[in-house]
Chain A
């Protein structure tokens, strides 16, 4: 039962309760912003294997999950971190060495797929990618799709407009719904029932959250329910969708969380360098993930000085004049 009771738990408990080998999962955020990194690190520590990931452009979290060997296959639109990684390194290596299966969509298509899942529809239409290899080239073969009850039989399909030339469209692309077994979303504020307030861009978090069979929320601050209800129009995810709530300050670190802290360029650059070599990548993970028991230990390891350096300026919501390159 989701309902209205308190869903507050520990991160370890939340991750171990809802993740399992071969689970189909999604994570929130976008490239180096509001990735649920504390949850990602806990997933890595759980040693779960063969995950199937649904991704639009969720950069850092996805790359760390792939690098840790948790991922078997990925449906993705974009595997890069802007200036911090022209292509996400472990993602790139895993695809080039065929260590993971891949299926490419666009950002809009992935967003619509989550929305279709959230709406209880089998698919939604769009006008993107007609005539391209996104439509023509499939990563998972039709046979492997038919054999896998958790995947739709087709990557996508094209439909002639059943309304003639209505809206000046002769054809549309149909993209299949996604209903992840579990999604992990990090937000600025939530209450014990799971109602969430996201500040700044929501990316596709709301669609992902509402499409998921299980939903784990990590938040910067647990806020009492009465306060959350003073401005309900500012809350994007009501508690009825949520299975677990965990208060994790700096839960998106090293990615940014608007109005709380910026991304940490030091961590991200170091990760990018280390990720180039298998041994160094393993050492990086050992140091920042396995050798820390919980997220607070990672924050202690990084130290207060660096955290202070990325503290959000109250007016702009980011760290003004942060040394970024």
Chain B
């Protein structure tokens, strides 16, 4: 069965989400992945929006995190103060997994969603942190979506918006951050994880039809690719649920 890289990415992320997890997500593919997790692998996971909506019904896909569609049928709708406090508070925050994307990523999983070029006069200005820096500062685990491109996997970020492992082992602790950091990077070609000791990114898997070298050619920095496996493609069931139940109007996977 044919599938698109975007569908593969959403399903890869859905497979990462354990049942019972609280999933913090933004819009677009990260929201689709969270919905897919709930409908395919983890019916008891809870979708959580930075705007303050918790466990919304999501009969229709929201196009923004402030969409009225996140307000309907939620367990509670408060505001940002509550939402971020929940993640900063490790009693509840320990159950949260963040899903987010970025314009640039480095080998320690730090993210740039602010600008390309100098901050004072950027070549390209992006939206900025939003809640991205907050969630990556607070929660123990995050899933990062990236497009596999050399200009996005860079040696040095133009601006560090959201912390990964900062400068490596003990980086977060030295800075005073809560323990955490990205657990997986999911791209349109494969997936990466982070070495437990060095905190450096390594290539974990390639999608069917992609060679490790294809991926490495789309990176500015080097990564260990000695233990790469080929990823299991989406199953018929996964694709069917994704297409028919998660995004029937193709608002995200179009």
Contact = CB atoms under 8 A, between A and B. Distances in A.
Interface of A: 29-34, 56-57, 59, 76-84, 86-88, 91-92, 95-96, 98, 104-109, 111-112, 115, 126-134, 136-137, 139, 158, 168-172, 200-207, 256, 258-259, 262-263, 312, 316-318, 320-321, 324-325
A183 to B, nearest CB: 15
Interface string B212-231: 00000000000000000000
Interface residues of B, number: 64
| B interface secondary structure, majority | loop
Interface in B94-116: 110, 114-115
Given A31-B64, A33-B66, A108 B131 contact: yes
Contacts, number: 217
Contact of A312 (B67, B68, B115): B68
B200 to A, nearest CB: 17
A201 B69 CA distance: 11
A163 to B, nearest CB: 14
Given A77-B130, A78-B129, A84-B63, A111 B84 contact: yes
A204 B68 contact: no
Nearest to A204: B80
Nearest to A315: B72
CB-based closest 3 A-B pairs: A82-B64, A131-B175, A171-B176
B81 A204 contact: yes
Interface of B: 27-28, 50-53, 59-60, 63-73, 77-81, 84, 88, 90, 110, 114-115, 119-134, 137-138, 159-163, 166, 171-178, 251, 254
Given A83-B63, A105-B129, A203-B66, 11 more contacts: A91-B125, A92-B124, A104-B129, A106-B130, A106-B133, A127-B138, A129-B129, A129-B163, A132-B162, A201-B70, A205-B79
Contacts of B124: 92, 96
Given A84-B63, A84-B64, A318-B68, A134 B133 contact: yes
A201 B77 contact: yes
B178 A127 contact: yes
Contact of A107 (B68, B78, B110, B130): B130
Contacts of B73: 316
Q: Which of A132, A205, A259 has the largest count of B CB atoms less than 10 A from its CB?
A: A132
B125 A95 contact: yes
Given A104-B129, A107-B131, A108-B134, A130 B177 contact: yes
A294 B10 CA distance: 45
Contacts of A76: 128
Contacts of A108: 80, 84, 88, 131, 134
A33 B84 contact: no
Nearest to A159: B176
B121 A30 contact: no
Given A78-B130, A132-B161, A87 B68 contact: no
Contact of A56 (B27, B60, B80, B123): B80
A105 B33 CA distance: 27
Contacts of A263: 67-68
B64 A81 contact: yes
A128 B178 CA distance: 9
B13 to A, nearest CB: 19
Contact of B129 (A77, A88, A170): A77
Nearest to A325: B251
A132 B68 contact: no
A201 B177 contact: no
Contacts of B80: 56, 107-108, 111, 203-204
14 contacts: A31-B64, A78-B128, A84-B63, A91-B125, A111-B81, A127-B88, A127-B178, A131-B172, A133-B114, A137-B119, A168-B178, A203-B51, A263-B68, A324-B251
